[in-house]
């Protein structure tokens, strides 16, 4: 018999997570770990028939904190997900055909007292006496050399290493599931047939399974992907369309055989109507072409992808359809949406997993009681909206600040109006070369500088704080940074050797 959900204040007694995949099982593992065995009962509902969207993932450094928080050993994670390490992203043909640049994790070099490193570097660069930015990044140099090591104490370049991972998304979900179930999460196989709203306040009271069972909870997490079964269909939370800035609405994906040792970085190559990813894993390489269906057909995109693989395809190409944007309210009544149910930003900077992680962290920070104080939901929605908006602006930068005009796709992107927040950043950068990080937003000054410089917006002036620094002194100091960086990279093992010692899968399985 279904028990009525109390409207009284008090701690949550039951949490239902609808949908599995990375979003569902990340939430399950985190909630079970943080709330403990004395916390609310957690049930995760998923159907093997529906499956997950994941086609292989690249991530950004904050995932390391998430894995540590749930108690997932990093070597075990790399081994079980057939993972490799990621030191940044190589961008090919983005500014113009034939041009490459690298967006590294970590930092470039130390500041020069009150003068930021980028200000000093630009003054010397404008004088023709500095090397490209990548020269001063240990992550960029290690990536180019195919090397990897974990950060080491001591204050030198090796202490500045920052990294993330490439991994098989389905294997990650499986690993998270094992962690969550060991912590007491109960998995319920099957499809949801109906969402039942409570009379009076419209809260979700329960979901009805196809076999007729009703599952009640105090809090529901919608991890049903693009279907948004609870937040979108049942509670009708609107979706804000961002296709005017991010027009790509399709992706065709296919795994291929590795052509040599996997590289410790993701590659993104600009194409005629979108861009192609390459994500190297231990057992295969993930590939995909993210494109605008207004500018190229699915068949043409598939042919283009298959013609530009490094190795033999291992499966039939799969087409995914999506729409860029977010829900202004991802927390409505007693439902919180995570992952694709809350919004979608194309995977150019590998932020999908991170946005799930932030949503979980914000939910734990604002964990409701059964009274569901509306102020909690308002703060959650405000912070998540800001998170999405910051990532959105960074993504738009790649497509808008480009010299490419060789196809209708790139002409439209170069001419489009962009959000005022990005207009402001571009004006500041063009005037002085300054970059900045607003509060605790995701992307650091390193990220903004790497992409601003790499995409090519012209800088008219220089950082005022750098104007009085002697050029000879700047040149000597930058030379020392470059040499220390190169020497640190020479001491690092190859990524292949590092994985062989720390994270190689015992049995390599294709597919």
Q: In what order do the strands lie in the sheet with 343-344?
A: 240-241, 325-326, 343-344
Token code pair at residue 374: 């509306």
CA 291 to chain CA centroid, nearest Å: 18
Q: Whose CA is closest to 184, among 41, 12, 69?
A: 41
191 annotated active-site:
no
- Note the helical H segments in 219-365: 298-306, 352-365
Cβ–Cβ < 8 Å for 182, 70: no
Rounded Cα distance, 93 and 320, in Å: 24
Cβ–Cβ < 8 Å for 85, 500: no
Of the residues 82, 86, 147, 392, only one is catalytic, namely 86
Token code pair at residue 394: 């960074």
How far lies 304's CA from each of 50, 248, 274, 317, 443, in Å?
28, 16, 11, 12, 31
Rounded Cα distance, 32 and 138, in Å: 37
> Which pairing describes strands 204-209 and 214-216: parallel, antiparallel, or unpaired?
antiparallel
User: Which secondary structure element, helix H or strand E, spans residue 88, and what is its range?
Assistant: strand 88-92
Q: Rounded to the nearest 10 degrees, how much is the dihedral formed by the CA atoms of 180, 184, 189, 194?
A: -100
What does the DSSP assignment read for 127-167? TT-S--GGGG-HHHHHHHHTB-----SSSSGGGG---EEEE
Strands (DSSP E) along 257-366, which ranges?
266-271, 274-280, 285-291, 318-321, 325-326, 331-332, 335-337, 343-344
Q: Name the residues annotated as catalytic.
A: 86
């Amino acid at each position: 018999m279904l028990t009525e959900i109390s409207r009284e204040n008090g701690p949550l007694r039951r949490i239902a997570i609808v949908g599995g995949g990375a979003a569902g099982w990340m939430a399950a593992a985190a909630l079970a770990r943080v709330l403990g065995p004395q916390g609310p009962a957690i049930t995760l509902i998923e159907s093997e028939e529906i499956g997950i969207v994941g086609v292989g993932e690249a991530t950004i450094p904050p995932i390391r904190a998430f894995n540590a928080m749930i108690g997932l050993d990093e070597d075990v994670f790399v081994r079980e997900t057939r993972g490799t390490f990621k030191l940044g992203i190589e961008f090919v043909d983005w500014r113009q055909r034939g041009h490459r640049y690298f967006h590294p994790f970590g930092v470039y070099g130390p500041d020069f007292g009150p003068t930021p490193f980028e200000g000093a570097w630009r003054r010397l660069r404008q004088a023709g006496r500095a090397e490209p930015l990548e020269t001063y990044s240990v992550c960029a140099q290690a990536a180019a050399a195919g090397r990897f090591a974990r950060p080491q104490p001591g204050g030198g370049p090796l202490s500045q290493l920052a990294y993330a991972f490439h991994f098989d998304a389905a294997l990650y979900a499986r690993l998270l599931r094992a962690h969550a179930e060991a912590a007491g999460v109960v998995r319920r196989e099957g499809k949801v047939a109906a969402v039942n709203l409570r009379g009076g306040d419209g809260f979700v009271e329960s979901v009805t399974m196809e076999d007729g069972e009703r599952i009640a909870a105090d809090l529901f997490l919608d991890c049903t992907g693009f279907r948004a079964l609870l937040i979108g269909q049942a509670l009708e939370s609107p979706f804000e369309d961002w296709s005017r800035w991010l027009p790509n609405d399709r992706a065709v994906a296919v795994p291929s055989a590795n052509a040599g040792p996997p590289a410790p970085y993701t590659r993104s190559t600009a194409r005629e109507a979108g861009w192609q990813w390459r994500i190297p894993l231990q057992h295969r390489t993930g590939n995909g072409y993210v494109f605008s269906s207004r500018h190229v057909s699915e068949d043409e995109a598939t042919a283009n992808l298959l013609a530009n693989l490094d190795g033999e395809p291992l499966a039939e190409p799969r087409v995914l359809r999506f729409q860029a944007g977010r829900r202004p309210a991802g927390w409505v009544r007693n439902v919180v949406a995570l992952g694709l149910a809350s919004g979608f930003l194309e995977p150019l900077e590998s932020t999908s997993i991170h946005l799930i992680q932030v949503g979980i962290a914000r939910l734990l920070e604002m964990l409701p009681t059964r009274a569901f104080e509306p102020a909690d939901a308002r703060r959650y929605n405000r912070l998540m909206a800001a998170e999405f908006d910051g990532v959105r602006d960074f993504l738009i930068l790649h497509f808008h600040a480009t010299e490419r005009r060789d196809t209708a796709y790139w002409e439209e992107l170069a001419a489009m109006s962009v959000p005022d927040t990005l207009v402001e950043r571009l004006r500041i950068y063009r005037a002085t070369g300054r970059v900045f990080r607003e509060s605790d937003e995701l992307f650091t000054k390193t990220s903004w500088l790497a992409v601003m410089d790499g995409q090519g917006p012209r800088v008219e002036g220089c950082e005022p704080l750098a104007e009085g620094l002697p050029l000879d002194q700047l040149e000597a100091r930058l030379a020392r940074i470059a040499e220390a960086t190169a020497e640190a990279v020479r001491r690092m093992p190859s990524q292949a050797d590092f994985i062989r010692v720390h994270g190689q899968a015992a049995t390599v399985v294709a597919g």
